[in-house]
Amino acid sequence: MRRLACSLIVFAACETAGDRSFNGQCPQGETCSTKTPKGLHFRGPDFADDWIADATIKRTAVGGTQTITILNAQDEQQLAFPYTTSIDSASLTADAPNGALLTLHGASAGTGLLRINDAADGKLFDRVTVEATEIGHADVVAFHDEALLASDAAPAIMVNTDVQLMARLYDSSGLHRLVDQSTLIAVTGQSTAQTTWDTVALTPNAIGTIGVTLRAGGQQRATGSITVVDSIDAVVPGYTSFDATFPPKANQSLVACIEAVKGTQPVVGLDWTLSISGADTSTSWVASNCMTFTRTTAGAVTLHGSAGGKSADFVIDVGAAAAAPYVPHADVTPGEYAASFD
């Protein structure tokens, strides 16, 4: 189970809490150092398409690497005390510490307990479970600052537009993303520039398809090709923070997005102009093709969007606010019937 340590700044930033930090006490059978009385937090690399950053430790791809940052949970600063490491499994190994940075290597599928000990006396700062997983499949997809539906096909990109290509590594179930910070992406016949561990920047110079190669987990991976287009056919409704099961309600903070398409394929790499009418508050979201808004009463909100010479309006029917839960007055003793609503 992933144990999270989260703080609210602009978005929720979550790290992985060590066993000692999570439970608030020294793990049974261990002797803990007083230098880290609240244990440790561990920060892993983000995936490029995480709109709200996930800084937890991830599964390390077998044959790959993952560099984590060790934080003193007492002040959320990088661990400044000298330390040693050990892992009770051959599935993962760790390089020598580099300050608060520690690089893990996936050797074989499995989990292990990573211990961070005081180099001075061997006492435990904290410990955390780490995991290595075989790459089941991998792909490279076009990526820009636009949010798409999870069910969308791999997107095309606009010619002569600065975009990114992103490597995605999955386990055999396809449910879990893996990290290999030694991942290499290359494009046939065109130069790229590394932007994050899992992305490279690219400006495609001709329409058609471009070949992509990917090396991850110490092996070459099959990836397919990327489509490049010079126009779009339409803009259509995209991701929303609500759906038929959880319809939009008044007094909720809601997100709605618009996508560009060529045929049925989404296209990224466009400049968007968005506005909303009928909302009481609205603002741009972290993705350039989305807006967040609220409405205090039931009624219609219209999202206006244009990109690539196409435009459209999409109406969102906001329902009445959900009834507030019943909370009895602190100085009142509820009857049996009233208490049944608690």
- Structure token pair of residue 34: 């007083």
In the predicted model, what is the mean pLDDT of the chain? Answer: 91
pLDDT digits over 166-223, tens only?
A: 999 999 999 999 999 999 999 988 899 999 999 999 999 999 999 999 999 999 998 8
Residue indicated by tokens 């189970």: 1
Question: CA-to-CA distance for 177 and 214, rounded, in angstroms?
Answer: 16
- Structure token pair of residue 285: 């979201």
pLDDT at 331: 58
pLDDT range class, residue 25, cuts 50, 70, 90: very high
Question: CA-to-CA distance for 36 and 75, rounded, in angstroms?
Answer: 10
Rg value, the chain, Cα: 24
- Structure token pair of residue 296: 């205090």
Q: Residue 106's beta-bridge partner residues? A: 62, 92
Question: CA-to-CA distance for 54 and 45, rounded, in angstroms?
Answer: 8
Class of domain 137-229: mainly beta
Q: What number is the average pLDDT over the span 253-257?
A: 97
CA 24 remoteness from chain centre: 27
Q: What number is the average pLDDT over the span 42-61?
A: 92
Question: CA-to-CA distance for 73 and 25, rounded, in angstroms?
Answer: 13
Count of beta carbons in the 10 Å neighbourhood of residue 242: 16
- Structure token pair of residue 117: 């000990």
pLDDT at 336: 58
DSSP string, 173-205: TSS-BEE-TT-EEEETTB--EEEETTEEEE---
Contact between residue 116 and residue 40 where contact means Cβ atoms under 8 Å apart = yes
Pinpoint the alpha helices (H) of the chain: 19-23, 336-339
Which residues make Cβ contacts (< 8 Å) with residue 283, sequence separation at least 6?
291, 292, 293
pLDDT at 332: 53
Stronger pLDDT, 246 or 13, i.e. the higher one: 246
Return residue ranges of the chain for CATH 2.60.40.1080.
4-133
Q: Quick one: 15 exposed, middle or buried, by C-beta within 10 A (0-12, 13-18, 19+)?
A: buried
Q: Residue 128's beta-bridge partner residues? A: 114
Contact between residue 56 and residue 45 where contact means Cβ atoms under 8 Å apart = no
Which residues make Cβ contacts (< 8 Å) with residue 212, sequence separation at least 6?
140, 165, 185, 186, 187, 188, 223, 224, 225, 226
Contact between residue 8 and residue 98 where contact means Cβ atoms under 8 Å apart = no
**In CATH, which of 1.20.1440, 2.40.160, 2.60.40, 3.40.50 is domain 234-318?**
2.60.40
**Residue 341 reports pLDDT greater than 50:** no
Return residue ranges of the chain for CATH 2.60.40.10.
137-229
pLDDT at 3: 55
pLDDT digits over 299-318, tens only?
A: 999 999 999 999 999 999 99
Q: Quick one: 321 exposed, middle or buried, by C-beta within 10 A (0-12, 13-18, 19+)?
A: middle
Domain 4-133 belongs to what topology?
A: Immunoglobulin-like (2.60.40)
pLDDT at 173: 95
Contact between residue 58 and residue 66 where contact means Cβ atoms under 8 Å apart = yes
Question: CA-to-CA distance for 168 and 148, rounded, in angstroms?
Answer: 15
pLDDT digits over 279-295, tens only?
A: 999 999 999 999 999 99
Sequence letter at residue 307: A
Q: End-to-end distance of the chain based on CA atoms, in angstroms? A: 31
Number of separate helices (H) and strands (E) present in the chain: 2, 29
Question: CA-to-CA distance for 98 and 76, rounded, in angstroms?
Answer: 18
- CA angle 269–271–275, rounded 5-degree value: 135
CA 98 remoteness from chain centre: 26
pLDDT at 11: 39
Helix (H, G, I), strand (E, B) or coil at 23: helix
pLDDT at 212: 95
pLDDT at 50: 86
pLDDT at 335: 61
